[in-house]
Amino acid sequence: MENILKKKQIKSKRRHLSRTGYLYDLKMNYNLYLMILPVALGFIIFHYLPMYGIIIAFKDYDLIKGYMSSPWVGLKHFISFAKDPYFPRVVRNTFILGFYSLLWGFWPPIVLALLLNEVKDGYFKRITQTISYFPHFISVVVIVGMMMEMLGPKGFVNNLLNAWGKDSIAFFNDAKYFRMLYILSGIWQGIGWSSILYLATLSGVDQELYEAAYIDGANRFQRVWHISLPSIMPTITILLILNTANIIDVGFEKVYLMSNPSLYETADVIQTYVYRRGIINKNFSYATAIGLMNSIIAFLLLYVANFISRKKGETSLW
Amino acid sequence: MLRKANFIAIIFFLSATLILSMTSCKRSGDASIGGDKTAEGVPIIEYLLPGDPGKYMSEDLWSIQEWGKRTGVQFKINSPPRDAFQDKLAIIISSGDLPDMINFYQDNSTYKDYGPQLFVPLNDYLNNGQLPELKRWLDKYPDIELYMENPDDNKLYGFPFVSDFEYISRAWYVRNDLLRKAGLDADNIETLDDVKAAMLALQKAKGGGFITSSRLGYNYFAGVTGAYFGAHNGVMYDQKHPNGNKEFVYGALKPEYKKWVEFMRWMYVNKLLHSNFATMSQQELFAGYADGSFPLMIEQHGLHDKLNPEHDSNREIKYIYPPKIDGIQFRQTKSYHVNIGYRWPVVINQKSKHIDDIVRAMNFVYSDEGIEMFSLGAEGLTFERDDKTPSGYRLDYVQSVWTRKEDGTFPEGMKMLEDYGCNSWWLMGVSNESDRFGFKEYKEGENEEALFIPNIINSNIELGLVVETDPFINFNKEEKDTIAEISTPLGTYESENVLKFIYGQRPMSEWDDFINGLKKLKCEELAKIYNDKLK
Amino acid sequence: MKYHPSLGSKAFDVANYIILSLLVASIAYPFIYMFSVSVSDAREVALFNVKFLPKGLQWEAYKTVFNQRETVRSYWNSILYTSVGTCLAVLFSSFAAYPLSRKKFKARSIFIIIFTITMFFNGGIIPGFLNIQRLGLINTLWAIVLPPAFAMRNIILIRTNFQQVPESLIESAYLDGANDWYILFKIVLPLSKAILATIAVFASVGLWNSYFPPLLYLTSSEKAPLTIILRRILVANEVLQSGQDMFMDSRSNSIAYQGKVMSIRMATIFVTIGPIVLIYPFVQKYFVKGVMIGSLKG
């Protein structure tokens, strides 16, 4: 009884103190500041010091004139990109690919982690989990190569189709298949690796909770739904917020390898388009400007996602 | 406990500062620019030299050591992997820490753009007799300087890689043995209809299926297939048609372009052209040539061997001449006698302390002695001279046609020319006929086979199917930006729609729509930019 | 408490095993194919005759990879960079995650935003290089190891887990007079072994596969890690191919050579993934379901 009262007193005292400003906080929690100081220094030295490079997005960067003396051109590069006839299409494709990748790719690792978690510890669990992340290590080139072989005119899939009396499908020549293939291969590659994080969190769940639920009559599925899932909810939320920012970040390499011009309608994304421009005319400033635009959009997406999550009372970044 | 925590904090900060101070002591590695001299006073020259993967460069290579010995210098080679070359170059230039010499990878503009500020102009050395060997090549092929001169001061800021032969790039090859089965012969192909008949015959002879494909994506495909039709992506100089206007024009606007698209479409629809031709990998294509799935090759010169890599005597490879399309045979342009789109040029750092030594070393590269050394090695070490062979050499001491055993392997431990640092276009300054067309792949008595490609090129020239190179245009930065701004959407539109026409996803009746679309995207303005620079 | 699985539970298990097995099969099949390519006869590989099982056994590809002098040294370099880098990454991330997980830490939001910005904005390779150069870190292991040690993503993930440590546990520690260092090292970290192991895995894999930083920052070839050596061995055919590379070369004309190239490419995958697969079982034991320290009762 006494302890609880004492705890309450100390808690309220703490809260009262923290209202009196940063300097007081510094004195009270100097250890915390001490702890974070070296990390903050590291960030400053390695990530903030080089950040001035961004200014060339507003300049016409010349390698010899350098960052300081290259002429300012304001928003020229941004405007040039915005005026491009394909700007709407390219941005649209990027967002659609990114959004659907998130929509379809976000939950399979969670499901996998939950399923794996239900398996008794032992060889099957270990081997399955280990094998599941192998695809993460294959380079994109190999994956696209394998996909093209499997889906080619003489590939596995078309052989099946022919056996069932259907015509072969030219998967890589038709814009409507591209998104599906892109997303499916992304899921295949990432499901095991992304599930590691969830598995780790799941392993920290108190076993007694499961036992208590069992006693209360919950069946297997309910135990997963009401205990396992909520226990990784904070992680899920945070990752969802972070991945929302990545919608704009559709990777260049895979799209480039998978596509040919006939697929541009759905497959031409910001990065591939800018790449083609870069072949004609190597322009550091232009590429940096587009990159900056991407970063700003990503950050905005993050901000919105975080805002929504905070409003709903869930875990959030800040 | 508090004391313990403080203790930890202090220890941590001490170690942190220790780390930081340790690291700030170290200076930036071995980037000692301007080079020093060895103990004997021989200048050490730093050379940024990318190589080819698997054939990378280092100063241990025999050829580089020999080069140094014969010219009185010593080389220190920095060889970055090619995929980082652009980044490394940008870092080097912006930090001002350039090595003595640089050889460029896939960059034929930096030497010109930054020439006056960073690199040594060679003109004085050419005029005062320090580069006699290079001078004789420049005199023999005046187009080299035209191509490489800086437009502002007409000076030459880089060493060229000279192509000492006549070359046209596009060629169609066919497995004539399969044509013969149908009673046809490549020699009898004259018109486009003959080509059609031959293609269908090939398909039949191999029992159905595709007969050809491509690699390296759509643009490459368009380049190699369009040549015989006089069709060209993007802007082209109108001289491939005998009555061409000799000015720059947007390729897609010409009627021959439409003919090319129609023919490709016909091929695709009749399943002669592989459905994945726009994305097929090089390996898959070459495998198809090797196992006979693709009896027709539409490519560059020099690849005909891939149709018969195991030298099966039943396979006969023949060249197909450009067919008459509505009575017209389209011409190809000669290549420039300088090849710096992929490797080279080599530049000298203005601030180097060893400019004269480098000039001397580079002069050697263009001498007959140097050409021989870099391409073939040395007498007694890698080859013996033998004027009965097509190349004039016999490569008795390295892996070659003379040392290959019956079963296709080589004697245990026998090195390749590349192991000596030879046979690399990164080091050779001149590629002659013998080198470019691989005369050293043929033994004595095989002159006909050795001259296979040069003969074809020469007969094309004799038949009037070859015209001089397109005029070369130097663009400044603003022009390049404008060109990039127009041609990116234009190229996107063109390639996207042409492929749709070929695939049959868009009917040819919409061709005029397509042309209007091109004009809306400023294709004519783009051609005008080029034409304005002609005057 | 005896646990009697119900019928539904058993059905769940069976379905689970089937789904997981299907997944493994869909992954194992391509991997077996890739392994077969790496050990099949070069000619068969070049003609795309290898469909699933190897045709003709040869270890040339692996021999080529391991025969290079530099391979052994580069393995050691990679191990060095990976272990040092992982320790630093876990250490620094924890040091940042803990304060950011404490609600009483007023400057929390500020730091979070400062750190998060670095996830999206960076100055490019040239300023990055110049920065490392000015710090005198060119050609040292610190250039490889320090920048990734400060990664907000890791900090966020660890912080999320730290936040799940029951507040009451920490409060009672405060009551007993402990300061934040003690709480971090003696309470929070031991309870977070799983997430720390995970971050260690992420960091190690990132460092093990790190290619561009060593390329740009390491100038002497004795310091090159495995990734660089492997790329050098492999005849690169990736992303940017160019037709201008073709010239008369008896070696590249042979089919066997093409096949050898493909085998080597597959071999490098297994060479890279090998150590990870060997180490990972040791990490997995942290993922075994555990019981929380029963200090909550009462």
Q: Is the peptide bond before B345 cis (omega within 30 degrees of 0)?
A: yes
**ipTM, two decimals:** 0.86
Share of chain C above pLDDT 90, in %: 32
Nearest CA in chain A to B503: A173
What's the confidence (pLDDT) of residue A284? 87
Type and span of the H or E element at A215: helix A207-215
Residue of A30, A47, A185, A244 to mutate, testing the C interface (most C Cβ within 10 Å of its Cβ):
A47
Residues of A in contact with B117 (CB under 8 A): 64
What's the confidence (pLDDT) of residue B285? 92
Classified as helix, coil or strand, A211 is helix
Q: Is A203 close to C179, i.e. CB distance below 8 A? A: no
CB atoms inside a 10 Å sphere around CB A125: 19
Residue B93, min C-alpha distance to chain A (Å): 6
* Whether residue B321 is found in the same domain as residue B228: yes
Per-residue pLDDT tens digits for B436-493: 888 988 898 888 888 999 999 999 999 999 999 999 999 988 899 999 999 999 999 9
Q: Is C130 close to B94, i.e. CB distance below 8 A? A: yes
Give the relative orientation of helices B282-291 and C255-284 as an angle to the nearest 10 degrees.
Answer: 130
Partnered with residue B74 across adjacent β-strands are B44
Mean pLDDT of B79-91: 85
How many domains does chain B fold into? 3
Share of chain A above pLDDT 90, in %: 46
Per-residue b or e along A177-200, where b marks 16 or more CB atoms closer than 10 Å to that residue's CB = bbbebbbebbbbbbbbbbbbbbbb
Give the pLDDT band of residue C240 (cuts 50, 70, 90): very low
Residues of A in contact with C272 (CB under 8 A): 137
Q: Is B90 close to C245, i.e. CB distance below 8 A? A: no
Residues of A in contact with B477 (CB under 8 A): 60
Residues of A in contact with B482 (CB under 8 A): none
Give the pLDDT band of residue C289 (cuts 50, 70, 90): low
Per-residue pLDDT tens digits for A172-201: 888 889 999 999 999 999 999 999 999 988
Per-residue pLDDT tens digits for B407-431: 777 888 898 888 899 988 999 999 9
Give the relative orientation of helices A175-202 and A140-151 as an angle to the nearest 10 degrees.
Answer: 130
Classified as helix, coil or strand, B346 is strand
User: Which residues of B, range 246-275, sit inside 8 Å of C by Cβ?
Assistant: none
Q: Is B489 close to A284, i.e. CB distance below 8 A? A: no
CB atoms inside a 10 Å sphere around CB B127: 10
Look up residue A195 and give its amino acid: S
Nearest CA in chain C to A12: C104
Residues of B in contact with C233 (CB under 8 A): 54
Q: Does C240 touch chain A (CB under 8 A)?
A: no
Phi, psi of B43 (to 5 degrees): -65, 140
Task: Say which DSSP state B508 is in.
Answer: G
For residue B469, being part of any structural domain is answered with no
Mean pLDDT of B285-312: 90
Of residues A104 and C284, the one with the higher pLDDT is: A104
Residue C24, min C-alpha distance to chain A (Å): 6
Q: Is A295 close to C120, i.e. CB distance below 8 A? A: yes
Of residues A211 and B124, the one with the higher pLDDT is: B124
Q: Does B5 touch chain C (CB under 8 A)?
A: yes
Q: Is A66 close to B94, i.e. CB distance below 8 A? A: yes
| Sequence-separated (6 or more) residues with CB below 8 Å from residue B190 | B323, B324
Q: How many CB pairs under 8 A join B and C?
A: 149
Domain interval for residue B228: 172-333+475-534
Nearest CA in chain B to A86: B489
Give the pLDDT band of residue B29 (cuts 50, 70, 90): very low
Task: Say which DSSP state C53 is in.
Answer: S
Residue C240, min C-alpha distance to chain B (Å): 9
Give the pLDDT band of residue B3 (cuts 50, 70, 90): very low
Q: Is C182 close to B1, i.e. CB distance below 8 A? A: yes
What's the confidence (pLDDT) of residue B235? 95
Of B426, B315, B450, the closest CA to residue B374 belongs to B426
> CB-CB: which of C8, C95, C114 is closest to A35?
C95
Q: How many CB pairs under 8 A join A and B?
A: 94
Mean pLDDT of B359-366: 96
Of A32, A38, A77, the closest CA to residue A54 belongs to A77
* Whether residue B12 is found in the same domain as residue B146: yes
Residue B484, min C-alpha distance to chain A (Å): 6
In this structure, what CATH number is given to the domain that contains residue B69? 3.40.190.10
Q: Is B300 close to C216, i.e. CB distance below 8 A? A: no
* Whether residue B297 is found in the same domain as residue B359: no
Residue A249, min C-alpha distance to chain B (Å): 21
* Whether residue B258 is found in the same domain as residue B357: no
Of C150, C162, C99, the closest CA to residue A39 belongs to C150
What's the confidence (pLDDT) of residue C110? 85
Residues of C in contact with B306 (CB under 8 A): 253
Mean pLDDT of C187-192: 89
Residue A103, min C-alpha distance to chain C (Å): 20
Mean pLDDT of C223-236: 78
Residue B7, min C-alpha distance to chain C (Å): 11
Residue of B24, B86, B474, B496 to mutate, testing the A interface (most A Cβ within 10 Å of its Cβ):
B496
Radius of gyration of chain C (CA): 25
What's the confidence (pLDDT) of residue A220? 84
Give the relative orientation of helices C255-284 and A140-151 as an angle to the nearest 10 degrees.
Answer: 120
Q: How far apart are alpha carbons B410 and A122 in whole angstroms? A: 52
The CA-CA-CA angle for residues C121, C124, C125, to 5°, reads: 145
For residue B468, being part of any structural domain is answered with no
Domains of chain A from N-terminus onward: 85-312 (1.10.3720.10)
Q: Does B284 touch chain C (CB under 8 A)?
A: yes
Q: Among A54-63, B68-77, C245-254, which is the least confidently predicted range? A: C245-254
Mean per-residue pLDDT of chain A: 87
* Whether residue B177 is found in the same domain as residue B299: yes
Residue A316, min C-alpha distance to chain C (Å): 9
What's the confidence (pLDDT) of residue C291? 44
Q: Where are the beta strands (DSSP E) in B309-442?
A: 317-320, 332-333, 343-348, 384-385, 393-394, 430-432
Of residues A19 and B252, the one with the higher pLDDT is: B252
Give the pLDDT band of residue B34 (cuts 50, 70, 90): very low
Give the pLDDT band of residue A21 (cuts 50, 70, 90): low
Q: How far apart are alpha carbons C86 and C83 in whole angstroms? A: 5
Mean per-residue pLDDT of chain B: 89
Q: Does B252 touch chain A (CB under 8 A)?
A: no
pLDDT of residue C1 exceeding 90: no
> CB-CB: which of B283, B300, B309 is closest to C246?
B300
Look up residue B133 and give its amino acid: E
Give the relative orientation of helices C193-208 and A175-202 as an angle to the nearest 10 degrees.
Answer: 140
Residues of C in contact with B1 (CB under 8 A): 177-179, 182
* Whether residue B486 is found in the same domain as residue B455: no
Q: Does C130 touch chain A (CB under 8 A)?
A: yes
Residue pair C196/C90 in contact (Cβ under 8 Å)? The answer is yes
Mean pLDDT of C80-90: 95
Of residues B17 and A310, the one with the higher pLDDT is: A310
User: Which residues of A, range 49-68, sit inside 8 Å of C by Cβ?
Assistant: 49-54, 56, 67
Give the pLDDT band of residue A123 (cuts 50, 70, 90): confident
Of residues C191 and C68, the one with the higher pLDDT is: C191
Q: Which fold has domain C69-239?
A: MetI-like fold (1.10.3720)
* Whether residue B347 is found in the same domain as residue B324: no
pLDDT of residue C42 exceeding 80: yes
* Whether residue B50 is found in the same domain as residue B177: no
Of residues A78 and B409, the one with the higher pLDDT is: A78
Q: How far apart are alpha carbons B262 and B258 in whole angstroms? A: 6
What's the confidence (pLDDT) of residue B54? 60
Residue A27, min C-alpha distance to chain C (Å): 11
- Distance spanning both ends of chain C, measured CA to CA: 22
Q: Does C185 touch chain A (CB under 8 A)?
A: no
Share of chain B above pLDDT 90, in %: 72
What's the confidence (pLDDT) of residue A15? 53
Q: Is C34 close to A142, i.e. CB distance below 8 A? A: yes
* Whether residue B210 is found in the same domain as residue B295: yes
Q: Which chains touch A (3+ CB pairs under 8 A)?
A: B, C
Q: Does B82 touch chain C (CB under 8 A)?
A: yes
pLDDT of residue A318 exceeding 60: yes
Q: Is C184 close to A42, i.e. CB distance below 8 A? A: no
State which of B347, B373, B399 marks the end of a domain: B373
Per-residue pLDDT tens digits for B19-28: 543 343 333 3
Share of chain C above pLDDT 70, in %: 88
Residues of C in contact with B94 (CB under 8 A): 126, 130
Q: Is C130 close to B425, i.e. CB distance below 8 A? A: no
Q: How many CB pairs under 8 A join A and C?
A: 253
Residue A297, min C-alpha distance to chain C (Å): 10
Q: Is C247 close to B24, i.e. CB distance below 8 A? A: no
Q: Is C116 close to A141, i.e. CB distance below 8 A? A: no
What's the confidence (pLDDT) of residue B6? 45
**Token duo for residue B508:** 């040819």
Mean pLDDT of B384-390: 93
What's the confidence (pLDDT) of residue C293? 38
